[in-house]
Amino acid sequence: MLVLRLLNVVAPAYFLCISLVTFVLQIFLFIPSMFRDPSTTPLFSPALLHGALFLFLSANALGNYVLVIQSSPEDLGKDLNLGKGGEVADWLDGSRSPGSALPSTHFCRLCARVTQRHDHHCFFTGNCIGSRNMRNFIMFCLYTSLACLDSLVAGMAYISATLSMSFVDPLAFLTLLPHSISQFFSGALLSSEMFVILMLYLWLGIGLACAGFCCHQMLLILRGQTRYQVRKGMVVRARPWRENLQEVFGKRWLLGLLIPVLNVESDYCRQKEK
């Protein structure tokens, strides 16, 4: 448990550090290098178009990241007076009283709260993912993946122009790292260039991981399931996939794709208000 609590603090700091490094490289290195091309007009230069795209992706990724933390799942244990600590877990598991377990709920020991439609605990946000912040979490994963892949393309263009190399051959990227390490220790490669090359592989890994996680999460949403329900082998009521999507993304789903907005309230909250 101590290791998990430490990871819950280190992972958000790691994400913010990577975001800051990516932003600095894009604004002060990649984009200025694109202005060196005199053949393009200032209005439609690749630097301005790429800069606008990167700022759009970064704003949506960081905006949804903040909303995931801000709209953290409500602690149902406070309203239901289930107790604290291990007592809450006993109530939710149904070991205290038959039939007393709440459906689609889970007690997270890291957050010390009862989450409605609990999916999983995200260490990079230091928060539980449930019905209230699921849409913002998916948008965060999507735009993080796109921002990393965008930075990967810009970094490859910068390395290609700086080192006068071509990435037409797919094997050129695979052999870039070992070849660059040998050049770095021989003194033929600068430290800044080596750092950019290392970031290329980091962006590739984060981008593919976020894209894969987002696709897997969307598949579960279409089925009306959560990761917690799949892990526990819980059977869910079959519903049309449109209703499952609307439950997570709401009716204003298009607005949530373009700008970071708060998620719709959960069914539990709406029923409680009534």
| Domain ranges within the chain, ordered by starting residue | 1-36+43-73+124-273, 74-117
Model confidence band, residue 138 (pLDDT cutoffs 50, 70, 90) = very high
On the question of pLDDT at 247 being above 50, the answer is: yes
Q: What is the Cα 126 distance to its own chain's centre?
A: 12
Tokens linked to 242: 């449109």
Q: What is the pLDDT of residue 81?
A: 53
Could you give the CA distance from residue 222 to residue 243 in angstroms, rounded to a whole number?
Answer: 9
Could you give the CA distance from residue 104 to residue 236 in angstroms, rounded to a whole number?
Answer: 9
With a pLDDT cut of 90, the percent of the chain lying above it is 41
Segment 98-137, tens digit of pLDDT: 334 455 677 788 877 777 788 888 999 988 888 888 999 9
Lowest average pLDDT, out of 180-184, 235-239, 240-244, goes to 235-239
- Backbone φ, ψ for residue 189 (5° rounding): -130, 135
Dihedral angle over CA of 195, 197, 202, 208, nearest 10: 160
Q: What is the pLDDT of residue 78?
A: 58
215 is catalytic: no
Tokens linked to 245: 């999507």
Lowest average pLDDT, out of 39-48, 58-67, 157-166, goes to 39-48
The pTM of this model reads 0.84
Considering 108, 122, 128, 148, which one is annotated as catalytic? 122
On the question of pLDDT at 79 being above 60, the answer is: no
On the question of pLDDT at 174 being above 60, the answer is: yes
Could you give the CA distance from residue 179 to residue 158 in angstroms, rounded to a whole number?
Answer: 17
Q: What angle do CA 201, 227, 251 make, to 5 degrees?
A: 95
With a pLDDT cut of 70, the percent of the chain lying above it is 81
